[in-house]
Amino acid sequence: MHHDKIDTDALVIGGGIAGLQAALDLADQGFRVLIVEKQPSIGGKMIGLSKVFPTLDCCSCICTPRMAEAEHHPNIAIMTYTEVRHVRREGDRFIADLVKKPRYVDEDKCTGCRLCEYACNTELPHEFEGDLGVRKAIYVPFSNAVPQVALLDLENCILCGRCEKVCPVGAIDFLQQPQETVVRAGTVVVATGYETIRTDFKKEYGQGRLPNVLGALQVERLLAPHGPYGRVLRPSDGKVPDSIAYVQCAGSRDRSAGVSYCSRVCCMYAIKQAMLLCGTLPLADITIYYMDIRAFGKGFEQFYQNAKAMGIEFVKAKVASITEDQQQNPIVRIEVIEEDGRVEQRQHDMAVLSLGLVPGWDPREVGLAAPAPDGFIRCTQPMIAPCRTPDEGVFVAGCAAGPKDIPDSIIEAGAAAMEAAAYLHEHTHVAGKETTTTCMK
Amino acid sequence: MDKSQAQDPLREADNGATAHTLRIGVYVCHCGGNISDVVDVERVVQAASGLSNGVVTRHYPAMCSETGQNLIIDDISNEKLDRVVVAACSPSLHEHTFRAAVARAGKNAYLYEHVNIREQVSWCGKSDPDGATNKAIRLVGAGVAKARLLRPLAPISMDAKRHVTVVGGGVSGLRAARDLARIGLAVTLIERSASLGGHMAQWHLVYPTEDKARDLLRELVDEVIGDPNITVHTRAEVIEASGYVGNFLLRVEPEHITVETGAIVLATGFDLYQPQEGEFGYGQYPEVITLDQLERMLDPEGPTSGRLERNGRAVNNVCLIHCVGSRQIEGIHQPGPDGKLNEYCSRVCCTATLRAAGEIRRRFPRTNVFELYRDIRTYGRGHEEYYDEASRLGVLFCRYEADRPPVVSPAEPKKGPGLICAKHPPGRSGKLNLVPFSAEEPDDSALVVQVKDTLTFGEELEIPADLVVLVTGMVPREIDTLVDQLKLSRSADGFLQEVHPKLRPVELAVNGLFVAGTCQAPMDISESCAAGSAAAAKAAALLASGRIELDPFLAPVDLDVCRGEGKCVEACQYQKAVTLVEVERDGRKVRHAEVNSALCNGCGMCTAVCPTGAIQVEGWRLDQFDAMVDALVADYAETEVSHA
Amino acid sequence: MLPADRAQVPKILILATEACAYPGADNVGQIHAEYPANTYVVRVPAPVMFSEPFYLHCFEKGIAGIIVMSCGHECPYPGAYDTLATRISRVHELMGERGIQTNRLRLCAVCTVCSKAFLKEVHQMHELLTSTV
């Protein structure tokens, strides 16, 4: 098997917004950085969001410049669709084993023209659209993916060969093999992000089988200007929903779901989605069932008060269960926390689970120190040096160290980059001194 | 900085060529059929060769490939090309690729113009190939028209002091200073008070680690003081500032020091909200204190040696009122002395209060603790545990609505049955178990707090309290001199305003100024340290090489044309980016505009209002746009249409 | 269509901001949505740099319609959007004085993924120009 060797100053694991920012802040100081991303595009969860709270900026407009900057930065190399298998220390360097998964498309040749995608007849649920839209067996991951390179889903491919025939540059390669790479790096930044808890985490909430009960990230896609339906519809019958329920703390602050912590972003994203829905569906009633509204960040409380003034209904209640009626309208059973504490059933056209954030990666899988009891990366000096981990020279940024919003992730990424830079300085890998780097784009 | 630096390369001669004798190479990419399946590239090339400067015109399957780029490089040397135009995919993908190729051939990279005929022509015009071809021809024509007027540009580079000034010696300032020193930058730390540590030095134990705040601080302060790269000035203030990114000059009083510095990190911290006289009985009853005073009381090294007592007596009932001076709502709350409401949440107080409440219950089990809150915001890692723990330890929670705040008043002589007290921990969001006061359980608390508790049928509760703790939030600190001298902008809430909360969260509008910690918004210790490090990272990137490279797309002034009317100065949104100066010219005093490259952002607000066209954004000059429009409306393209 | 006819097709000039609208126009291509070929997108850092006469000259030269696609209030340059909006209103007045239909100049905001907004603006302008010119 062919082995590549890369020598770099910093290895950043994860190409979401935290990883990109950490990489940029290191690269701007003159350090060489390799970003390893397991997905076929960088951009992480952020690139799939519609707009961001509390400014309601278009999310793509904030995320794509960072993606482009990283892609074109002379000190940054990016490997997408690549997994980190193992990280170990050797003297004062880290050695990481990487495996680049086969795309079955030659990245250097592919121009992202999508002719293969148009030729392919196999239709599958589109992961980027929260399975709401359709993709082909060969496809560019999404419209603003970086790199703009197609990916062949061999598992679902019927090997008809149409893509190969139409590809103008002969980029299709059914025989592509996984490619191993060994990286030597002076420091490691872990920015592996989060996953939302699976919709079947709680049997009382329909176990992911109710078509009109959606996860919040799916609604992000519905609200995105380039989303799967191009408008907000409910999945079961394409009806425009008149009444939408938000179920807060779905998989957060809930020991029965195994998540006792607050996921920190759900209050705000629910309020944001509710406001966007008000704009798209001015006649719809939107109800948010919550325990506490945690609008703690800069401009958040004002955003919350605006949402109230817009007529979004906030009900302090626990949602005990969600079922559906014959028209597949979600029936939400609530225990009101205030007033008389009554139990009520309310019918909505669509219900949204404000899903909690859970760790997306276990550092033990690659030989790094065990995570904290909450499953996120353990921070050894959370107060005055919040990015340090039990592994000296390994720093953490963003949601890998617990749920947080985009500004907090970006700030923490800057902090991780600063720690990594200081570590490199103190271990003599001063920027520019080591010129043997053979990073490839 | 040498002011003429930006203009020097503009004077580079094109071997005497005029706009119409320049040798321009035009390359049309097929993009492997992505373009050529729709656009007739042969016709585009043919049209381009008909243009007066089209010396070399080619089409090629993949211009971005090594071979494609080499075509350009070879033509530049063999055909003595002055300008290059490539029509291909979006400039976001390959503009930099071809600029780099032009530079490799020894030409200025900015003598290159990119034309987008994929995303904006072939991909959006499949069903009208003829129309798409004509559109491509016109766009290439416009590209050539602009190319004729391109001028070589050089990135503006200037020396910068490898020195950072950190204003504020609280935890985020200390963190930033130490980080910068660790990578070898010189740091001056300026602290207004007599000692380092800020608010944190006054605190007892801190969430979520239960560390002693002073221990944590001591570690950081020792590192800072022991660091040879850091100079600390306490009891010092910046009273005057001038200069720009890379080269600021600060005057510091009272020591009369001048600091030459490349970047400034503002970490000036916050003030605690000062309750108004009579707000929840504050200033009226000695039993009403604030959370920071409670922390001092709980501190074994504090004024009461850690005893929870008031008026010399142990405290039996503590009532903590959340959101005092935070989350204020117009029409409900009274504006402060500055006429402003604090609409924001102060973020740290919920967890800090729960931590203190839990500590009281653990250390003084006979003391009842009541928390009167609006929402419990234990958002962070390890915060929710304090909420759980407080509930488990029997802290009693009442929730009030903003428009029905608790009322603190002196307790009347015992009323007997009817006065209600909450007893028995009810669990988190469950109902309080209410027991009427009886004669057997006399209570001699000095105060009573009335609250309409939304958790218990909206019941009006009367809670006896011999200590009422107001959980006061954070307010912006008075830093008017700095705001004035450094032209800082503040957001509506009065805290410093970053450029963009997500794109540039630790940068201020003036280049070279960074913000860290609670002068930006309420944040806790951990978040303040992260912000300090993040600001340090930006300053480090700026000053890493000792030279600052700026994009050349700025707005220099053509002194032959400028009449010094100053319209540009009025239009400019960036402080002092363009100013009027008086100079001697040909023995006469003349006024003209002058642009400071370090402050200009190239937006072109000045260009539109300049009466003579003297001020132009390089790379985007108005004559270039005019030429492009001329090319777009020219009628050469249609006459060449053939319908084979 | 004959060459002579094509020359009659009114031309639309789109001034698209580098930060938002130009990538937005690229996005339309990326999803392979079609719009009339008589549209010419020109990339600009900030359209606030164009003075009133620039627009009038464009009309004089033969541009039939202009759409200024800005970043709206997400504009990276402070104060630029409001100044631009004021200027466009003034150009509208000047157009009125010269007997140029004012709806031949449009100011709108288009973001990096606003393909629908982009298409709507282009189609609207195209309709207007082909029905009246």
CATH number of the domain to which A34 belongs:
3.50.50.60
Interface mutation target, options C22, C28, C113, chain A, most CBs of A under 10 Å: C113
How distant is the Cα of B601 from the closest Cα of chain C, in angstroms?
A: 8
How distant is the Cα of B451 from the closest Cα of chain C, in angstroms?
A: 44
* Residue B560, pLDDT above cutoff 50: yes
Could you tell me if C116 lies within 8 Å of chain A, comparing CB atoms?
yes
Minimum mean pLDDT among B213-217, B305-309, B359-363, B457-461: which range? B457-461
Distance CA B296, CA A224 (A): 50
Task: Tell if the CB–CB gap between B638 and C4 is shorter than 8 Å.
Answer: yes
**pLDDT at site B437:** 46
CB < 8 Å to C71, chain A: 61
Task: Tell if the CB–CB gap between B617 and C49 is shorter than 8 Å.
Answer: yes
Task: Tell if the CB–CB gap between C111 and A60 is shorter than 8 Å.
Answer: yes
**pLDDT at site B97:** 86
Interface mutation target, options A296, A318, A409, chain B, most CBs of B under 10 Å: A296
Those of residues 359-378 in A touching chain B at CB distance below 8 A are 374, 376
Looking at the fold, whether B43 and B77 belong to one and the same domain comes out as: yes
Mean pLDDT of B64-70: 85
Max CA pair span of chain C: 48
Q: How confident is the model at residue B422 (pLDDT cuts 50, 70, 90)?
A: very low
**Domain assignment present for C126:** yes
Who contacts A183 (Cβ-Cβ below 8 Å, separation ≥6)?
A5, A6, A7, A8, A11, A34, A94, A95, A96, A97, A98
> Domain boundary at A324, A356, A388, which?
A356
Mean pLDDT of A366-384: 97
Give me the interface pTM, i.e. the ipTM.
Answer: 0.95
Q: What whole-number percentage of chain A has pLDDT above 70?
A: 96
**Domain assignment present for B383:** yes
Looking at the fold, whether A87 and A121 belong to one and the same domain comes out as: no
**pLDDT at site B227:** 98
CB < 8 Å to A387, chain B: 530, 533
> Domain boundary at B121, B155, B189, which?
B155
> Domain boundary at B429, B444, B473, which?
B473
Q: Return the amino acid letter for C21.
A: A
CB < 8 Å to A225, chain C: 111, 113-117
* Residue A441, pLDDT above cutoff 50: no
Could you tell me if C27 lies within 8 Å of chain A, comparing CB atoms?
yes
Residue C109 · residue C20 · CB < 8 Å: yes
How crowded is residue B143: how many other Cβ atoms within 10 Å of its Cβ? 23
Q: How confident is the model at residue C66 (pLDDT cuts 50, 70, 90)?
A: very high
**Domain assignment present for A437:** no
List residues bridging with B618 in a β-sheet.
none
Looking at the fold, whether A94 and A207 belong to one and the same domain comes out as: no
**Domain assignment present for C59:** yes
Residue B82 belongs to what domain range? Answer: 3-155
Task: Tell if the CB–CB gap between C77 and B91 is shorter than 8 Å.
Answer: no
Minimum mean pLDDT among A257-261, B205-209, B507-511: which range? B507-511
Q: Supply the CATH number for residue B236's domain.
A: 3.50.50.60
Residue B130 has phi, psi (to 5 degrees) of -65, -45
**Domain assignment present for A434:** no
Looking at the fold, whether A26 and A45 belong to one and the same domain comes out as: yes
**Domain assignment present for A310:** yes
Distance CA A331, CA B297 (A): 51
Residue B276 · residue B336 · CB < 8 Å: yes
**Domain assignment present for B644:** no
Chain C: residue nearest B633 by CA?
Answer: C62
| Nearest C-alpha neighbor of B142 from the set B631, B643, B637, B634 | B631
Q: Supply the CATH number for residue A161's domain.
A: 3.30.70.20
Helix (H, G, I), strand (E, B), or coil: what is residue B295? Answer: helix
Looking at the fold, whether A70 and A189 belong to one and the same domain comes out as: yes
In three-state form (DSSP H/G/I as H, E/B as E, the rest C), the secondary structure along A79-104 is ECCEEEEEEEEECCEEEEEEEECCCC
How distant is the Cα of A253 from the closest Cα of chain C, in angstroms?
A: 35
Distance CA C58, CA C66 (A): 8
| Nearest C-alpha neighbor of A250 from the set A124, A384, A148, A351 | A351
**Domain assignment present for B585:** no
Helix (H, G, I), strand (E, B), or coil: what is residue C53? Answer: helix
**pLDDT at site B413:** 63
CB < 8 Å to A226, chain C: 27, 31, 113, 115
Mean pLDDT of B457-468: 88
Mean pLDDT of B54-69: 87
CB < 8 Å to C91, chain B: none
Q: What share of chain C is helix, strand, coil (3-state, %, to 5)?
A: 55, 20, 25
Per-residue pLDDT of B77-97, as tens digits, reads 999 999 999 999 999 888 988
CA distances from B68 to A231, B64, B65, B97, B100 (A): 42, 6, 5, 11, 13
* Residue B415, pLDDT above cutoff 60: no
Q: How confident is the model at residue B605 (pLDDT cuts 50, 70, 90)?
A: very high
Interface mutation target, options A75, A289, A411, A423, chain B, most CBs of B under 10 Å: A411
Mean pLDDT of B623-643: 74
Interface mutation target, options A66, A143, A144, chain C, most CBs of C under 10 Å: A143
**Domain assignment present for A269:** yes
CB < 8 Å to B378, chain A: 262, 294
Could you tell me if C30 lies within 8 Å of chain A, comparing CB atoms?
yes
- When mean pLDDT is compared over A217-231, A349-363, B490-504, the highest value belongs to A349-363
Looking at the fold, whether B524 and B541 belong to one and the same domain comes out as: yes
Looking at the fold, whether B225 and B343 belong to one and the same domain comes out as: no
**Domain assignment present for C3:** no
**Domain assignment present for C95:** yes
**pLDDT at site B634:** 87
What is the rounded average pLDDT for all residues in chain B?
89
Cis peptide before B406 (omega within 30 of 0): no
**Domain assignment present for B501:** yes
User: How many degrees, rounded to 5, is the angle at CA B253 between CA B251 and CA B256?
Assistant: 70
CB < 8 Å to B431, chain A: 341
Residue A389 belongs to what domain range? Answer: 3-100+178-193+360-426
Looking at the fold, whether A240 and A350 belong to one and the same domain comes out as: yes
Q: Which of C111, C115, C117 sits opposite A61 (nearest CB)?
A: C111
Higher pLDDT, A332 or B18: A332
User: In the 8-state DSSP scheme, what is residue A326?
Assistant: T
> Domain boundary at A323, A356, A389, which?
A356
Give the number of C-alpha atoms closer than 13 A to the C-alpha of residue B59, restricted to the C-beta side. Answer: 23
For residue B217 the two structure tokens come to 């601080």
List residues bridging with B507 in a β-sheet.
B514
pTM: 0.87
Looking at the fold, whether B443 and B482 belong to one and the same domain comes out as: no
> Domain boundary at B120, B155, B190, which?
B155
**pLDDT at site B525:** 98
Q: Supply the CATH number for residue C109's domain.
A: 3.40.50
Give first-to-last CA distance, chain A, whole Å.
21
Residue C72 belongs to what domain range? Answer: 8-132
Q: For chain A, list the contacting chains (3+ Cβ pairs, <8 Å).
A: B, C
* Residue B431, pLDDT above cutoff 60: no
**pLDDT at site A65:** 82
**Domain assignment present for B637:** no
Looking at the fold, whether B364 and B501 belong to one and the same domain comes out as: no
**Domain assignment present for B605:** no
**Domain assignment present for A297:** yes
**pLDDT at site B441:** 52
User: How many degrees, rounded to 5, is the angle at CA A411 between CA A405 and CA A413?
Assistant: 95
Distance CA B400, CA B322 (A): 10
Looking at the fold, whether B321 and B369 belong to one and the same domain comes out as: yes
Looking at the fold, whether B363 and B465 belong to one and the same domain comes out as: yes
Q: For chain C, list the contacting chains (3+ Cβ pairs, <8 Å).
A: A, B
**Domain assignment present for A440:** no
Q: How confident is the model at residue C111 (pLDDT cuts 50, 70, 90)?
A: confident
How distant is the Cα of A335 from the closest Cα of chain C, in angstroms?
A: 41
Task: Tell if the CB–CB gap between A65 and C114 is shorter than 8 Å.
Answer: no
Residue A41 · residue A64 · CB < 8 Å: no
Looking at the fold, whether A160 and A90 belong to one and the same domain comes out as: no
Residue A71 · residue A41 · CB < 8 Å: no
**Domain assignment present for C1:** no
Residue with tokens 């004089």: C60
**Domain assignment present for C2:** no
CB < 8 Å to B184, chain A: 425
* Helix B171-182 with B213-225: angle, nearest 10 deg: 40
What is the rounded average pLDDT for all residues in chain A?
93
Q: How confident is the model at residue A378 (pLDDT cuts 50, 70, 90)?
A: very high
Q: For chain B, list the contacting chains (3+ Cβ pairs, <8 Å).
A: A, C
Domain count of chain C? 1
Looking at the fold, whether B30 and B167 belong to one and the same domain comes out as: no
Q: What is the torsional sign of CA B305, B308, B311, B312?
A: negative
User: In the 8-state DSSP scheme, what is residue B213?
Assistant: H
Domain count of chain A? 3
Looking at the fold, whether A93 and A147 belong to one and the same domain comes out as: no
Interface mutation target, options C112, C114, C118, C119, chain A, most CBs of A under 10 Å: C112
Could you tell me if A335 lies within 8 Å of chain B, comparing CB atoms?
no
How distant is the Cα of C132 from the closest Cα of chain A, in angstroms?
A: 31
By DSSP bridging, strand B247-253 and strand B112-116 are unpaired
Looking at the fold, whether B452 and B337 belong to one and the same domain comes out as: yes
Could you tell me if B214 lies within 8 Å of chain A, comparing CB atoms?
no
Mean pLDDT of B279-292: 96
**Domain assignment present for C54:** yes
| Nearest C-alpha neighbor of A199 from the set A235, A224, A229, A230 | A235
Those of residues 161-180 in B touching chain A at CB distance below 8 A are 171, 175, 179
Residue B229 · residue B162 · CB < 8 Å: no
Looking at the fold, whether B151 and B167 belong to one and the same domain comes out as: no
How distant is the Cα of A416 from the closest Cα of chain B, in angstroms?
A: 8
Residue B180 · residue B187 · CB < 8 Å: yes
Residue C91 · residue C59 · CB < 8 Å: no
Those of residues 300-329 in B touching chain A at CB distance below 8 A are 327, 329
**Domain assignment present for C94:** yes
Looking at the fold, whether B73 and B109 belong to one and the same domain comes out as: yes
**Domain assignment present for A235:** yes
Mean pLDDT of B446-457: 89
Looking at the fold, whether A268 and A247 belong to one and the same domain comes out as: yes
Q: What whole-number percentage of chain B has pLDDT above 70?
A: 91
Could you tell me if C33 lies within 8 Å of chain B, comparing CB atoms?
yes
Looking at the fold, whether A206 and A352 belong to one and the same domain comes out as: yes
Looking at the fold, whether A236 and A345 belong to one and the same domain comes out as: yes
List residues bridging with A34 in a β-sheet.
A11, A77
* Residue B16, pLDDT above cutoff 80: no
Domain count of chain B? 3
> Domain boundary at A356, A385, A415, which?
A356
**Domain assignment present for A436:** no
Minimum mean pLDDT among A37-41, B150-154, B156-160, B412-416: which range? B412-416
**Domain assignment present for B411:** yes
Task: Tell if the CB–CB gap between C78 and B509 is shorter than 8 Å.
Answer: yes
Looking at the fold, whether B301 and B446 belong to one and the same domain comes out as: yes
Looking at the fold, whether A146 and A262 belong to one and the same domain comes out as: no
Give first-to-last CA distance, chain C, whole Å.
18
Q: Supply the CATH number for residue B121's domain.
A: 3.40.50
Looking at the fold, whether A77 and A123 belong to one and the same domain comes out as: no
